[in-house]
Amino acid sequence: MLFKKTRKSMMHLLNGFIDFILHIDVYMEGWINVYQNWTYLILFVIIFCETGLVITPFLPGDSLLFTAGLFCSTGMLKMHIITLVILIIVAAVAGNMVGFAFGKKVGPLLFRRKSGFLFRQEHLTAAHQFYTKHGKKTIILSRFLPIVRTFAPIVAGIVKLDYMKFVMYSLAGAFLWVNTLVLTGYFMGKYVPGTKEYLGYIVVFLIVITSIPFLYNSLKKRFGKNPSKTNSDPNW
């Protein structure tokens, strides 16, 4: 009986999350109508958590940035587009700083932690493998990969990447990620008619595009005959 109730609650949460992702514009409109200028704090907190807290890799960073840019172009968000971009970059870098500090503090112990509802060991492993393959560039590249971008700064802290190098890579990655998605949403809202009406499809497109690397790696591991070993030196 308890198992059925728990399963029902989990399905309810999952359905609510999917609805939030696919109709993020509706939810953001609600925030603007109810909280007005506090909406910017909500955006800041979501991006901050999604880019550095180990328990929140599921938050919708990409679609949120695109929608924020779109709403800025329509005037629903009153903040100037440049100010909005700077605000979100600060949130993304601040989240990375927290993730880095957490990884440096906890260290390899995190790899021995069992998976739970809010923490999946396979997500940390995937980020570590990505870091092993790409080195410091991971901090930039991972910005465009959901889940990996949450765990990449944590892995960088675990391997004790030089702090100033981490800050520079984190800032560069945040600059590219935020400008790409926010400005794309902004200019599409200004110059492409009907963008808001097709936002749900755009969100699905973003999810599919950013999931391709995960699908490729999964298929490669499953069907690859001789998977190559990657360099384990994080400083290459």
Q: For residue 97, give Cα distances in angstroms to 73, 106, 177, 179.
A: 30, 14, 17, 20
User: Cα(127)–Cα(51) distance, rounded to whole angstroms?
Assistant: 13
- pLDDT tens digits for 130-162? 888 888 899 999 999 888 899 999 999 988 899
* Residue 55 · residue 102 · CB < 8 Å: no
Quick one: angle between helices 163-191 and 148-158, nearest 10? 170
Among the listed residues 117, 87, 77, 99, the one whose alpha carbon sits nearest the alpha carbon of residue 170:
99
User: Cα(5)–Cα(210) distance, rounded to whole angstroms?
Assistant: 33
pTM above 0.75, yes or no: yes
Residue 224 has pLDDT above 60, yes or no: yes
- pLDDT tens digits for 89-132? 999 999 999 999 999 998 777 777 777 666 777 778 888 888 88
Percent over 70 (pLDDT), the chain:
87
- At residue 222, φ and ψ (nearest 5 deg) are -75, -40
